[in-house]
Structure 1
């Protein structure tokens, strides 16, 4: 149950990131991601952020959909793989964007991954 709750938290978080990256105003994006307003208002930046949003949204959707698409060990394996993707990307994001990414994205994914692995391997 804990593994499911933590996986869902990560999934919902990534759907929220998608909303910010695709539909938020440039001002909201600048505030949320620690960017300048000048940057987030550029058409190229808006397109890039929306593209990132699709990736984040699909990860979030897949994590949540895994609840209904798979059961048992396969469900845990899919969650473990998706969470590992997030861990790698969030680790890199913390190095390149800022340490806030480690708290907001890496930590929840690591906790969820730990819970999933404990159930799967335990």
Structure 2
């Protein structure tokens, strides 16, 4: 279970690095617009806001990566709980306010990883 929890946390971190790239660097490109269902003019007018969101996703990824390699197991556990909890709350909020697909893309994986981390402890 410990290996599974590690892998799930790592996957969530990778997902948030990908979201960072989409929001900070690819927002106005066809790939970025497709990912978020935006028209070119929408993407252009919201690119600064999106870059800010991307930065926050990067902080979530950094915290999750930190939790995977922290030398103190107790601190690492607390970091995992905190950052997965942040991802879960962000996913729930986004799922109920922006797009239901965020529930499946962000909230559900975070909830599964959170359960795996708790069961592995």
- TM-score, normalised to structure 2's length? 0.91
Offset at residue 77 of structure 1 (A): 1.4
Q: Paired residue for 1:91?
A: 92
Describe the shift of the 1:70–1:35 C-alpha distance in structure 2 as closer, same or farther (beyond 3 A).
farther
Which is worse superposed, 60-69 or 101-110?
60-69
Q: Deviations over 1:79-115 (max 9, x none)?
A: 0110001101100100111111011111110110000
The number of residues matched between the two structures is: 118
Which is worse superposed, 20-29 or 54-63?
20-29
Q: Paired residue for 1:7?
A: 9
Runs of 4+ in 1 over 4 A off after TM superposition: none
Q: List aligned pairs for 1:49-88, cutoff 5 A.
A: 49-88=50-89
Task: For 2:39 and 2:71, locate their aligned partners in 1 and report how far apart those are by CA, in whole Å.
Answer: 42
Gaps of 5+ in 2: none
Q: Deviations over 1:33-60 (max 9, x none)?
A: 1223221012xx1110000001001111
Q: Paired residue for 2:111?
A: 110
Give the 3-state SS of the residue equivalent to 2:99 in structure 1.
coil
Task: For 2:71 and 2:60, locate their aligned partners in 1 and report how far apart those are by CA, in whole Å.
Answer: 16
**Aligned CA-pair RMSD:** 1.2
Q: List aligned pairs for 1:26-45, cutoff 5 A.
A: 26=28, 27-42=30-45, 45=46
Q: Deviations over 1:3-35 (max 9, x none)?
A: 100000000000000000001051322211122
Task: For 1:23 and 1:66, locate their aligned partners in 2 and report how far apart those are by CA, in whole Å.
Answer: 26
- TM-score, normalised to structure 1's length? 0.90
